[in-house]
Amino acid sequence: MRASTLEKILFIIFDCIANSLCFLLFFAKFELSVLAVLLWFLMFLCTGLYRRWLLDSRTAQVLHILKVVGAAYILTMAVLFGYSKLDIWAFLNDAKYITGYFFSVWLSVSILRLLICKILRLFLNKGWGADYVILLGCTNEAREYSSLFKDNPQLGKKIIGVVEENLGLVKTFDGLPVLGTYSDLPNLIKKNNAQAIIIAHRSNSEKKINQILYWVAHLPVRIYLVPSLWECAKNFKTSGQPTIVHSKELQELFIMNLHPWQATVKRIMDIAIAVFLLIITSPLLLLTAIAIKLDSKGSVFYKQQRVGLHSRQFTVYKFRSMQSDAEKDGPQWAKRNDSRITRVGKIIRKFRIDEIPQLLCVLKGDMSMVGPRPERGVFIEKLRKTIPFYASRLKMKPGLTGWAQVRHHYDNDIEDVKIKLGYDIYYLSNASILLDIQILIRTIYVVLTGKGAQ
């Protein structure tokens, strides 16, 4: 088990124990303590206290806990003051217990977390639980990072080998095995369960980085660049400050800039909106199914394999809007005024009614309400060879709607795909709950006006 996984499990367990004991100490009500523990867990989860803290400053973690507990304390005191109906003595009597309770929560949670991190760092020093990292390039910068992680095992990263484009007779580098070439990366990452790669090759060509991203952008692996390569990657380097590792900097590519609490809220919104829409559109769904059946031969629905987060395959469901033999000549994009589209299909595509069954995919967790549209594997394979870093879309969970969908029309050709990729990468770098809400509101306008449909 990785140290980061064990860290999260231990944090949850001991946070719950500490919060429960503190509540019982001051209020001695077991039933209410269960509710209090649940509320603290949700609050800690939404405020990022269950992300990885092992490699961060101890002071930063303690202050973050203080900030969360302090905000909860102020809110509780405000509610208590209102409940006391201006009886200042009753308020002060209750306030001393509330103050003691919140202080004990902050102190006990902080001490236990620091103790857990201390123990896990000892394990890391013994070589247990580290994240596996692959270096790209036999260069001086690669040697520096290799030495850094080798000399500081408490950082939780272990270089397992090097990948070099021109192997030649090189078998080892700085005591590390040369594992293969760039084209071997997908297999090497899966085989060695690597969590990250560090690009440190000699070439400062953007084209060369594009070639590397062709092999790895779609995989569940973190991608870092050394400082000398930042300039050539400026066109696709996502926002965010460089990661500082013992005074050395690394820039991560394709970061999903969504705070932990926002990711939780986003999933809750997905489920709530999907259930709500399925309920209120149920009469429309029934009428659509009848119309499709009467209009043309074939099934009402069609299902298709699409590629989702980190290249995971899943089944997508839609109302059939084309003739049942529409792809007898093989997969192809829909065109403007496409003759394969049925009469009912034109209507349901115009108002996006054909997409509604995909709400089931949202409920299953294969899709989100907002994200890049899921594409078919056959098209992804073609597009990632043609369009630089196209596969970076697979760093995000696909969505029913997205920034690209409300800003651009259906794909008609490769140029449309390039334009929409730019919007998808913008969403990756700027993802937030507010942006999701904006996209959902724009989607309502698109649906009601039929804008961009074909």
Residue range 393-408: average pLDDT? 89
| pLDDT at residue 240 in the model | 52
Tell me the per-residue pLDDT of 22-74, one tens digit each, with 9 for 90 and over. Answer: 999 988 878 788 999 999 998 998 888 888 877 677 888 999 999 999 999 99
Residue 187 pLDDT class (50, 70, 90 cuts): very high
Q: Which residues, at least 6 apart from 368, have a Cβ–Cβ distance to it below 8 Å?
A: 266, 267, 270, 362, 397, 398, 399, 400
Residue range 217-241: average pLDDT? 73
| pLDDT at residue 220 in the model | 87
- Judge whether 193 and 221 are in contact, CB under 8 Å: no
Residue 397 predicted with pLDDT over 60: yes
Tell me the per-residue pLDDT of 304-327, one tens digit each, with 9 for 90 and over. Answer: 899 999 889 999 999 988 887 666
Which of the 8 DSSP states describes residue 340? T
| pLDDT at residue 453 in the model | 47
| pLDDT at residue 86 in the model | 56
Kindly report the pTM of this predicted structure.
0.73
Spatial separation of the C-alpha atoms in residues 353 and 118, rounded to whole Å: 55
Residue 205 predicted with pLDDT over 80: no
**Which strand (E) or helix (H) includes residue 133?**
strand 131-136
Interstrand relation of 131-136 and 301-307 (parallel, antiparallel or unpaired): unpaired
Residue range 186-191: average pLDDT? 93
- What SS3 state is found at 243? strand
Residue 390 pLDDT class (50, 70, 90 cuts): confident
